[in-house]
Every structure is written in C-alpha cells, then in structure tokens.
Structure 1
C-alpha cells in the first residue's frame, strides 16, 4: 500500500486538493457577489405604492438574505456541501437546474471550437514539417504571432458584418435554428440531439448556424495552440531522437509522429488554458449569435440582481475550469514523468 501511494502521489494529491480549491473560490464568489451595487431585495419588491419594513424583511427572508453576512455565508457553505446552489430569485427555480438546462449547449460550442482549433493546429504543423518555402513559413509564423492580439467579440462582430450584411452567405445570427423551430432534447447538446433523433434536416440547418461562430473561435484560439506546438516542433526537429530516427531510415510519417508527440506537452497546457478562456469568451459569442446558453442566465442574473443565480454560475464555471486544469496536469504527467511532483531530474 505504501509503495502504491508513493508511486501515485502525483495524481492523488491533485485530486484531494481539487475540492478545497473549489471551496475557496466558492467563498470568494459569495463575497464578490455581495459587492455588486444595488439591493436585490428592493429589486423584487413592488415599490410603486410604497412598502414597509415588514415587507422588506419578509422578502429578504424569502430570498435567504436575512440575517448578518456571516450567517448568510454559513448557510451558503452548508448548502454547498449538500450540493444545493440555492434558488434563483428571478425564476424561482433551483440554480443548479437553471444552469444545467443551458450549460450543455454552451459546452457543445466550446468543444467544437476547441476541436477545430486542435485540428487546424495539426494541419499547420503538417504543412510546416512538409515545406521549406520561406513565404509559407512566414505566413505560419505571422499567424502564431496573432495570439492574444484580437478579441473574440471584435472578430465575431466583423464576421457578422462581412458574411451576413456585406456578403450575405451566412444565416441570420438569431439562434441555432430558424425562429419557431423547436429543438429536440435528448442530451442537451443541440447539434448532437438533432442527429440522435434522426432530424438531419435540423442538423444541416443548425450546422449552418454554427459555421460562423465556430470559425471565429477557431481563428482566435488556434493561433495560441499553434504557437506552442510550432515552438516545440522547432526545438524537437534537431533533437537527437529525431536525428536518430532519420539516420535509422524511419519513414517520414514515423518521424513526424515522433516530433509531434514530443512537442505536445506545452500545447496541452495551452489547450487547458483555452478551455478556461472559452468558458468566459463564448458567453459573448452566444449573445452575438443569439444562441442563449448559460451566458444568458448569467447576464439575466446580473440584470435582476439574482445573487444565488450569479454566484451559482461563478461556482459552476470555476469548477469546470479547475477540472479542466486538473485533466491537463494529469495528461502532462502521463506524457512526461519528469513533470510529476517530487521527481528529481539530474542534469
């Protein structure tokens, strides 16, 4: 047992501290939400004919905002351990239900963007390895230098203006389907659900609405992944393992696979960072293209001073980010044992 724990301490420790990190962030989210300007109780009370202190206290108790900030915080932590994020004061439904009804659609868009970014990065890596043309390599280097230079929303707005207004080849940015068309519900992933129920006409229609937002996400985020991958490739091309494979007569495909595998570690870290960035950035994309999603619930919570809804949104997004970073750490440690905590690497 001791030997097992010693060998696997690198991932056991990360797993054990994950809930602690989420708890710390949850408490921070509770405190930050209380700093939002405005009185959520007054936002729920009809003040057109005036109101009494009793009316105010009654509404505060119904919203769970009565008592001191410390008692509210204690109740929040107790409920959190029970898996209860509270009840939305704007919809009167459990916050967890509100978020889970919308989150799968948002995650589908994120994974399409990430998947496309990885695919584009691999294609660019293949082109870079295949060609010695200076112009092509300068173009690839120029694209990787765009990392962080262009904001998602600016590119999204520009794409709508160009491909819907000036060159009307994209569908109207008013949702995933034509207004009045109902989306099938199986898994909560809209595009996948159209396939599962056999409504391929809806699949084609939804895919057409996805092309522009996914293209924006890929254009913005593939550059960062490609940047890390290309830097790794440039380093590994002249490394001894590569030279040995070439000297031993290995096929070009085998050499390319070896270079990509050894260059992947930093790209995986970037992929995890991109997942976290997309969780925040895709909210704006969803609004611009009329997709709704979990971002709409967050915006509605801010607008209506729905404290339970807003803090529940922050906690769920933080949890997803922490899990994403955790999986990135595990993948890196599996690919490169030298990255495991406690491992000493001799010079």
Structure 2
C-alpha cells in the first residue's frame, strides 16, 4: 500500500463539514477519480508526474482551513468500489477522505428543478426557481440527499440517546465519539474495507451495483451514429438527432409534464408553442434554445453533440457516467478537473462560455495555478 494502515486508535484529522452560511464561501472543487489516484501517490511522496509534487499537501491545507471544499459524488464511490485491488482502493479512499472530509454532492433528483426553468422560460413566466443546494455530507447524501450518520442509541428504548441533562463537557465528548464513528463508517464504505477492523475478521464490504446507464448510452450512441450516417454527417443533422433523443427521453418527458402542471399549463400546450416555427433551422434553433435552458440536460446533450462531430470516436461504457457527471456537477461547482479526452469535448461544447458554471481543467498543476490566483494569500 502507498498509504499507512491506520491503527484502530488513530483518528485522522479530516476537513470540516461545509458551512453553507460561511462568508466568504469556500471554493467548491470537483476532482475526477484519476486525480485522487495521482494524489494518493503524491501523498506518499511518489508523484506520478513531476509537476504534481506537493499538490496534495496544498489542496489538503485549503480543505482543512475551510477555504475550499472537495466533494465526492456517487461516481467516486462506484469507481472505487469496482477496483479489484483492495490496497489500491484503500490508498485512493484515504486521499479522498483527507481532502473531502466526506463532503459530498448529490447528482440525482434535479430533473424537476431544471424542467421548471426550461418551461418557465419558454412560456414567459418567472417562478423564481431557487437553485438547489446539492452539497451535503456522507454516502447517504450522495444516494438520496439524506444526511444520515451513526448515532449512540439508548439500549432500553432503541432511540437516539438524549444527553440534555449531562454536563456540557460530557455532551461534547459524546458528540465527538459520534463524529469519529461516522467518519470511520464512511471511510470503510468508500474503501470497502477497514484495515483497522480486519484483525477482528470484518469481511470485505460488497459494492453497490451500478445501473446500466453506461451500456444504454453506448447502445444509443451507436443508433445515433447510424442515423447520422444515413442523413449525412452535417452539424445540423448531428445536433437534430442528438437533441431529439434527449428531449424524447422518458425521464425528461415526465419532468417536463410535471413542470407544466406546476406552472398551470399542459405538455400539449408546450409542444404547440413550437408549432409556429417551420421545419428546418428555425425550428431546430427553438428546440436547441429550450434544451439549453435546462442546466444539466442541456450540458449533457451538448457534450454528446460534440462527441458525434467526431466520426471515428470510439464509444466506451464509461462515457455515460462521464457525460452525466460533468453535466450534473459542473453547474454547481467553481472548478472541475477531468481527463483530457473529456476536457476536449467540454472545450468544443464551450460549456463555460455558453453556460457558466465550473472552470473545467485537465491537470492538477493547472488547478493549483488557478486556485493560487483565485484565493488571497
């Protein structure tokens, strides 16, 4: 292992939970899985690239000082869980824990919010839709926005123990014990192991199964490519085919239906509002503008459009997860570091220029430069 096997009596110092009312607010930085693999090596004094030396220590100090938050998403958990090398899982999990403090970002359940934005813009209403706070703490928040953590339970009642009648010093000590127990649980879940408990014969934890989003996307992408090859690979045809698929997705349609009801209109009326456009470029532009008003689906479709502009691009099952993570995280964070292949797609999609959100980078050294220029000394 690159990382030391922590003794049972050792409690690491982790970054604090994000304070949503902090002033100034910390920068929110999302790091792709490969970043944590590299940072685990840098933490051990064996950086993978010379220019990455010292980046882990720099980022960790920002996190400990509360000047930056490095949230984990469900993608991090799943990609760590599927690794067969348990030592590598542990190394990466430790780097993640020491940077994130198990602050997490929820990427699901946002369809209602972005559907409201798009429908309201289309029908000329201003419902003052609040941007959701997607940051929280722990794996439970990633899975369903529930911020659950272990609690000390009264053995007689089975309910969380009440400590109101105890001296403040004892209450603080018990609260600290609960915090440590929660962090140990989170690390064990992230790594699917806890070396401190293995002498007690704790079996490895099973990974939560991933959905088939990746394979479904690959199948859809092949269908789209076949259709484009039939119609002719022009920018107009590529965009029309990809956006048609995105707007006809069952989940998207259900979200738009719900938004129409909330805004006292109907899905039929929404569709009819596009009828005044003639088929062709004018109609396509109207649909493109409507899709662009959806912060996540708009980004997701634009990344796919740019991928299909590359006739020979190979499709991987990981693309679905990468597209989804970029689209659902970048609206809510300040910086995002992804791999170079995906970065080229986001550059072609002009996500930052056209839609705001994260500054997207493809190297840890570039991130350090950006943070040094963004944060006061």
Fold conserved between structures, TM > 0.5: no
When the two structures are superposed, what TM-score results if normalisation uses the length of structure 1? Answer: 0.32
Structure showing greater Rg: 1
Which structure: greater helix fraction?
1
Which structure: greater strand fraction?
2
When the two structures are superposed, what TM-score results if normalisation uses the length of structure 2? Answer: 0.30
